Structure 1
Amino acid sequence: MKLHVLPQVVPDPDTFRSAPPPAPAVWHMPPAPLARLLSLGDLDSMIGWGVLRSRWISVVRAGRSVPESEYTWPRRQINDGMESVVRAAAITTLLQQGSTVILQSLQRTWRPVATMCRGLSREVGVPVEANAYLTPAHHQGFAHHHDPHSVLIVQTVGTKTWQIHEPVFPDPLEHQNWRPDALGSGDWDRLRHGKPTLETVLHPGDVLWIPRGWIHNAYATTEPSLHITFAFQTLTPYWLAKEVVKELDEVVELRRELPWGAVRDPDRLRETCAEVMEQLGRAMAGLDPDRLADRLVEAMRPRFLEPDRAPVTSALADDLTPGSRVAMVAEALHRRRCLPDGGARLEMADASLTLGPPAARALAEVLESGGDSWCALDLGPELDEAEALEIVTQLIRAGLARRV
């Protein structure tokens, strides 16, 4: 696989992809491309128009979440549900007070970041999401905490100091959130007064890798800070084991009721636990790992971003000719499945495109062409001119190709 996006954020993308660093790391990348992902002017555009929904934003003040009512209009009926719209003036006031503003799910609301998330997802093989954090000078959002997923921090504006400490709870799962009350006094002393494993000041273009579980604490320096956090979804043997258990819902003995009263009698419950564990062992021995893998591939598809289908009005355009140059959009393709008849199914996160054998043969080479341009005429002699033009049109509308 040719990598296009990872080289923008890490110096050794092949190594990063095959073996993500187990400890935090900082890389100084060319600042201009990363700074263009999100600027203060971009934030003004998103917030200042007065149409941003409350679900796309949150605010943190002194380490605590600010109630939504402080920065939104009262909830009102919008389409089929009750929603709130962000008040831009309230956000300005909160920033003046030192609050951190968080733009959530940027993979859904800001195209440059969405494009980066699509590319990262394709190249690392797991869904990637993004939030942005705007912090006024000399302030911080969240204090010491860990995340249950690994993140890449990309600084786009200003500077921010980061202190990274070794995990107290290694490899937390998604439901194992940061719990300050569970830390002993020794842990707190280490976090507050001990020397961090890594301390660094990020400038525009700097990238910080924080593996899940590592404790971090960050604060803006003498100028406002804006950074993007790219979060990599965590897939673990624990997750896979839960999916395996879901395959057992057809096993009759596992659907039977437990004995009444067992949960009130420790001795009886121990016996019941042992019986169920034996039943699980027998049931799992009969599972088909190929069937499970196929199901999980299909179940994971919607977790990846669907292709960017702009312009959506391409269905109305009639100026595409056999000589029009196009290029494949590699990050839009989730999987290419070969069919028994020699055709192929191109699967995206939210749709699929089935090709007959001639079209599959004609497209075999261009599907691997990366960003190289080609045209419908290049699909001969497998397809005649009209057939080739129709295939190119379908690829553009599916988001699998773009005009160049």
Structure 2
Amino acid sequence: MLSLADLVGDEFPARRAVFRPGAVPDPGEIASVADIDRVLTGSGLRAPGIRVVKDGSVIPSAHYTSPSTYGYAGLDDVVDPGKVVRLYRKGATLVLGTVNLLLPRLHELCKTVERDVGHPVDANVYVAPPGARAFDVHCDAQDIIVIQAHGAKEWTLFDDIVPNPGGGKLVAPEGDGSTYELRAGDVLHLPRGMPHLVRTAASASVHITISVNTLTWADLLKGFVTDLLRSDEYAAALPMGAGLAERVQPMVRQYADRLAAALTEAATAPAVHEMIYSRPAFGEAHQGGLFSQALLGAPIGPSDRISLRPGTWPLVGEARIKAGDRTFRVPGAVAAACELLMSGPAKVGELAGDPGEAVKIARALVELGLCAPPAPCP
């Protein structure tokens, strides 16, 4: 599996664009045209999973959905492949959002990048016909890594980086910018806030955008402060009487100081870990092979190598492992082995002094879904 360094080299995060021609030798291994066809035509895709855009405008989903039935449930937002393809032929760009959840190899890559950057990562796929322009010049709130998967696409980048771009926005940069033509296998990294315009020329295009959904200090502090403000102290009513604002204003500093002291006390290392990695934005770790392992099983030996699944961020206690919204009560030896694997892959035999015990520990971590089935050592 490709790593972050394979995609962008050593320049991440960069405060300038990084263009790496041919960095991905076979982009079809990540997401092929056949994979995207299956998502569009054979997955029962629903409207939230796709946007259809043309000349800067989003086409309402009613133009490409049809009523459908799943079992006994009537649904009115199921994507109609025929309608989508007709819109594409008329010049519309298809945007498959968070499509890594439907493409296992792309999901594994996102989770591998996520492990390197420490922030949530997901991916969109953009399918554009020749001569298309989906969006006007805009900037994104994320660092993005673009992988050209098929055809070619022209990216015009502007140096007027917008600091702290929030949700991203349309911009009107000065100058002509710098233009890059991406062909299959090329990679382009844009820092968050860099304005850009994307177009196709004579060729149709499929590109993958891996988004690093940057967590901010506001995200972290808001979580702690929200929890603290639920205490009885802050549920007390403001005083009654005339001139309320004038009476309360001198007291604000007092409550703010208490809140700051409580925040400092609450922000222990385990609490910060949980506040960050339990966020829904991180989603589930890469779960490829989980069912096959449960159904078929596979022998595990002391010489096999084992590692945490990409996107697994465990919080380990003496006899507890918490990963996302799941908590497992486990023997202390299993918890200790999980903590060891947080530093990187290891041989199964290194998980315990006794080889038989080490195999039992490895099997437990695999069955919990925290570790992928081990690969034999070379």
The TM-score with structure 1 as length reference comes to 0.79
Q: How far has the Cα of 1:202 moved from its partner? A: 1.2
2:150 equivalent in structure 1: 157
Q: Which runs of 4+ in 1 moved over 6 A?
A: 77-81, 259-262, 361-367
Q: How does 1:3-402 map to 2 (within 5 A)?
A: 5-12=3-10, 15-16=11-12, 20-49=13-42, 51-74=44-67, 82=75, 84-167=77-160, 169-174=162-167, 177-178=168-169, 188=172, 190-191=173-174, 194-196=175-177, 198-250=178-230, 252=232, 254-258=234-238, 269=245, 272=248, 275-291=251-267, 293-299=269-275, 300-301=277-278, 302-304=280-282, 305-317=284-296, 320=299, 322=301, 325=304, 327-329=306-308, 331-335=310-314, 337=316, 339=318, 345-353=320-328, 355-359=330-334, 368=343, 370=345, 374=347, 378=349, 382-383=353-354, 385=356, 387-399=357-369, 400-402=371-373
Going from structure 1 to structure 2, the CA distance change for 1:309 and 1:270 (only over 3 Å counts) comes to farther
Distance of 1:207 and 1:11 partners within structure 2? 10
Q: How far has the Cα of 1:228 moved from its partner? A: 0.9
Preserved CA contact (<8 Å) 2:67 2:75: no
Match of 1:397, as an amino acid? E
Distance of 2:220 and 2:246 partners within structure 1? 26
Going from structure 1 to structure 2, the CA distance change for 1:313 and 1:40 (only over 3 Å counts) comes to closer
Distance of 2:65 and 2:111 partners within structure 1? 30
Q: How far has the Cα of 1:231 moved from its partner? A: 1.1
Distance of 2:250 and 2:31 partners within structure 1? 55
The TM-score with structure 2 as length reference comes to 0.84
Going from structure 1 to structure 2, the CA distance change for 1:74 and 1:9 (only over 3 Å counts) comes to same
Q: How far has the Cα of 1:204 moved from its partner? A: 1.7
Distance of 2:300 and 2:160 partners within structure 1? 58
Preserved CA contact (<8 Å) 2:306 2:362: no
The DSSP-based 3-state class of the residue aligned with 2:208 is strand
Going from structure 1 to structure 2, the CA distance change for 1:316 and 1:49 (only over 3 Å counts) comes to closer
The DSSP-based 3-state class of the residue aligned with 1:32 is coil
Superposed CA deviations along residues 4-25 of structure 1, whole A, max 9, x for unmatched, are 611220121xx52xxx112222
Preserved CA contact (<8 Å) 1:329 1:402: no
Going from structure 1 to structure 2, the CA distance change for 1:286 and 1:54 (only over 3 Å counts) comes to closer
Superposed CA deviations along residues 211-233 of structure 1, whole A, max 9, x for unmatched, are 22221111012101111111112
Superposed CA deviations along residues 31-75 of structure 1, whole A, max 9, x for unmatched, are 324342122222112112262222211110221111111111136
Match of 2:3, as an amino acid? V
Q: How far has the Cα of 1:397 moved from its partner? A: 2.3
Superposed CA deviations along residues 133-174 of structure 1, whole A, max 9, x for unmatched, are 011111111111111222111111111111122347421223
Match of 1:356, as an amino acid? P
Distance of 2:251 and 2:20 partners within structure 1? 53
Which structure shows the bigger proportion of residues in helix conformation? Answer: 1
Distance of 1:395 and 1:104 partners within structure 2? 31
Preserved CA contact (<8 Å) 1:11 1:29: no
Match of 1:147, as an amino acid? D
Match of 1:348, as an amino acid? A
- For structure 1, the 5+ residue unaligned runs are 181-187
Preserved CA contact (<8 Å) 2:149 2:206: yes
Going from structure 1 to structure 2, the CA distance change for 1:167 and 1:323 (only over 3 Å counts) comes to same
Distance of 1:48 and 1:67 partners within structure 2? 19
Preserved CA contact (<8 Å) 1:27 1:207: yes
